[in-house]
A and B are shown apart, each in its own frame.
Chain A
Amino acid sequence: MARKMDRRRFLASTAAAGGTVLISACGGGSSSGGGGGDSGAARPAIGKEPGNLSVYEWQGYEAAGTKAQTYMKVPGKSYVDEFGASTINYTAFQSDDAAVAKVLSGAQYDLAHPCISYVRDWVDKGLVQPFDPSLLTNFSQLDPEVLKAGQVDGKQYWIPWDSGYSSIMYRTDKIDPADATSWNLFWNPKYSGKISMWDGFTTPLVIAGLVNGVSNPYDMSDSEIEAAKQKLIEQKQVNKFYWKLEYDDMQPAFKSGDIWVTYAWPNDYNDMLAAGLKTGWLTPTEGQLAWYCGFIMLKSSQNYYHCHKYVDSFIGHDACVDLFNSFVYASANTTVKKSDLQIQGPKYPKAYALPAAADALRIGDPNRLAAPVHLEQFIPQRAAYQAAWEEVKAS
């Protein structure tokens, strides 16, 4: 039993590494229907598909009109109107790494919502099938530069949607402005015990790499990884705790004054300003990190056309405007301009987004990804990064 499984896994993985040719050969042997590949002829029409979508999502991003969605009004709405809220099942995941690991261990879904640096992980492990952009009416509105990150061998495996920056959020009434210029703030002994790094698997290594001045923090050599690891072990001395859950441990700790300096996203900045805290958003000299997350279609999905309709209902102009209004996130849709958004002021006195947080997101700014910003990328040495981070925590 174990032997057979090894063989199958081995075949699947070499196939994935070698490209898509072997995948279809392999798929022909083990499963009947049209697996990956482009053979559209064998694919059943939308009316013949099972139609019950199973979506592996971050909690909070469910389609508008489903019971789970209590904030957003537009994203997903057109799909729900057409097919009904009860045809979608959601399962929540807490991290990209967890999502890949769980699907690898056998969990099955139609769609998932990973972030930009993980696209290649899904593709390389042979877990996904490509989208057909011609089936997405809003595809042409998406940022071509970001779309590139979702392409492998000319096929579009990932459709970007939500976006934001990652940087340091800090208390302006506690931190000397002279200290708030660089990612180095995480290492500043003056604020020992008031600092919280994200328990972010590979992200702390990227940050340490930036501080160490490596040429590409997403593709560090073994010695650079080791140096970043040592840097983070040093950081541990001043770190109060590694936060795991944005709303459950990081935000409460920041609000209560347990921490003054933390890794965060602009929506957190918005929440803390709204809570009346004197809060700053750092633009480090080494550059902020920029991220996009988006949709992938799992290889086991029998709902090819439903998946396209679902994704399309999220990436349109109105959906992306509502994404900002509900959560203070940017998006991959280039048609969204700052004037479309509801930002608190005379025009929208009750809006969720505050001007400072909206500015931090730089929506509509054509240079929002320009240097020194680092757009997140695939990390070829992900396992080594993960292992180094675990060792930091264990040291």
Chain B
Amino acid sequence: MSEAHTDGRRRGFPRRRPWRPGRAWLSVPVTAYLMAGLIVPIILIALYSVHLLTNLIFPPAKFDLDTWKSFLPYLHDGTSVYFDRFKTSMAITLIVSTVAVLAAYPLAFYLAFVAHRRRYTLLLVLLAPFFVSYLLRVYAWTVMLSSDGTINSILVELGRAKGHPVEWLFHSKFAIGLVLAYSWIPFVALPIFVVLENLDKRILEAAEDLGANRFTTFRKVTFPLSLPGVIAAFVFVLIPTTGEFVAPSLVGGSDDSMFGNFIQDSFVNTTDWALGAVMAVWLMAIVVVLIAVSAKYLTADLRGPAR
């Protein structure tokens, strides 16, 4: 059906390969920049992970895989507490990403199809609070969530929590999830909005003309076409959240440190960086794999035949 539509539109033009502004050599500057600012520092850190660089006086720097062996449970008997932390952190990350995308999709949809001329204004309204420092926003949540915080004061006032403030609000996994989802929702809405906004509205009208109701149109046309934005959005949250350390350290409880906290601690608070380097390299490797898997969605040609 879309073929007929396209052909009608194209009549009169010679068929040829679609012209695109892109040129592959344009990747040279960014590649060079990232080599210097990203790859070299990572290599230095990787050297710490195999003890080729070290801050310790003894033993001196010498190639050694011990720290890797103690981190990866497959390479030794017994458990690795840090590897277990990695698994729980990934679980938290997946939940947060899913929640953020689900919450953000309707916002993007609203902006793209309902808000009309006000859509950029409203988009900026969504983004505006995020010019306030992340640290301050997390701090704002501590003001909201603590035992004598705003929420508990209101609950007590309403008589819902007589004398007993709701304690699971603060220093808990709930608090971490809330703060992370809160932080990401507007940013997640952005890529979805960009894709939805650029959908050819005529395709939607065509679907309607052909008798599809709005829900069917959404399910069969709009949503599939917006998938690249959704996947981009998901990756958008998932990846930085795997290294998150601020929220767990400010609103988490004793047992809520995430993988990123241990990496952070290792470099900031201890002199032996080997374990931190191992965990950092591991995290990077995992995410590179994740990206490699999702790369084809991130760069998918939306105009190609429907999958």
Contact = CB atoms under 8 A, between A and B. Distances in A.
Decide if A and B touch, CB cutoff 8 A. yes
Nearest to B88: A394
Nearest to B257: A393
Nearest to B86: A394
Mostly helix, strand, loop or mixed at chain B's interface?
A: loop
**B contact residues, range:** 35 or more
Contact of B61 (A9, A17, A252): A9
A393 B272 CA distance: 17
Interface stretch (B28-36, B99-107, B221-229, B246-254): B246-254
Given A6-B53, A383-B56, A201 B270 contact: yes
Contacts of B57: 13-14, 16-17, 124-125
B145 to A, nearest CB: 10
Nearest to A102: B268
Contacts of B139: 248
A2 B149 contact: no
Interface in A176-200: 193, 197
A258 B249 contact: no
A97 B255 contact: no
Nearest to B152: A256
Contacts of A17: 57-58
B169 to A, nearest CB: 10
B129 interface: no
A101 B268 contact: yes
Given A5-B53, A9-B61, A256 B147 contact: yes
A41 B52 CA distance: 39
B56 A394 contact: no
Nearest to A257: B147
B250 A6 contact: no
Most chain A CB within a 10 A radius of its CB, from B81, B249, B254, B261? B254
B64 interface: no
A98 B61 CA distance: 21
Contact of B269 (A6, A101, A104, A253): A101
B55 interface: yes
Interface stretch (A130-138, A205-213, A234-242): A234-242
Contacts of A258: 146-147, 167, 170-171
B148 interface: yes
B267 A101 contact: yes
Contacts of B273: 101
A394 B147 CA distance: 26
A239 B254 contact: yes
A54 interface: no
Interface string A355-395: 00000000000000000000000000011001100110111
Nearest to A194: B167
Contacts of A248: 139, 250
B155 to A, nearest CB: 14
A10 interface: yes
B60 A390 contact: no
Contacts of A98: 268-269
B271 A241 contact: no
Most buried by A among B52, B82, B146: B146
A13 B149 CA distance: 50
A236 B148 contact: no
Contacts of A240: 171, 253-254
Interface in A91-111: 95, 97-98, 100-102, 104-105
Contacts of B249: 244
B242 interface: no
A219 interface: no
B233 to A, nearest CB: 31
Given A2-B47, A17-B58, A394 B257 contact: yes
Contacts of B119: none
Nearest to A249: B250
Given A240-B171, A257-B147, A383-B56, 9 more contacts: A14-B60, A105-B55, A201-B270, A242-B254, A258-B171, A386-B272, A393-B261, A394-B82, A395-B81
Interface of A: 2, 5-6, 9-10, 13-14, 16-17, 95, 97-98, 100-102, 104-105, 121, 124-125, 193, 197, 201, 236, 239-242, 244, 248-249, 252-253, 255-258, 382-383, 386-387, 390-391, 393-395
24 contacts: A2-B47, A2-B52, A6-B61, A9-B60, A9-B61, A13-B56, A98-B269, A101-B55, A102-B268, A241-B171, A244-B249, A244-B250, A253-B146, A256-B146, A257-B148, A258-B146, A386-B269, A386-B272, A390-B275, A391-B81, A393-B262, A394-B84, A394-B85, A394-B257
Interface of B: 44, 47, 52-58, 60-61, 81-82, 84-85, 139, 142, 146-149, 165, 167, 170-171, 249-250, 252-255, 257, 261-262, 265-273, 275
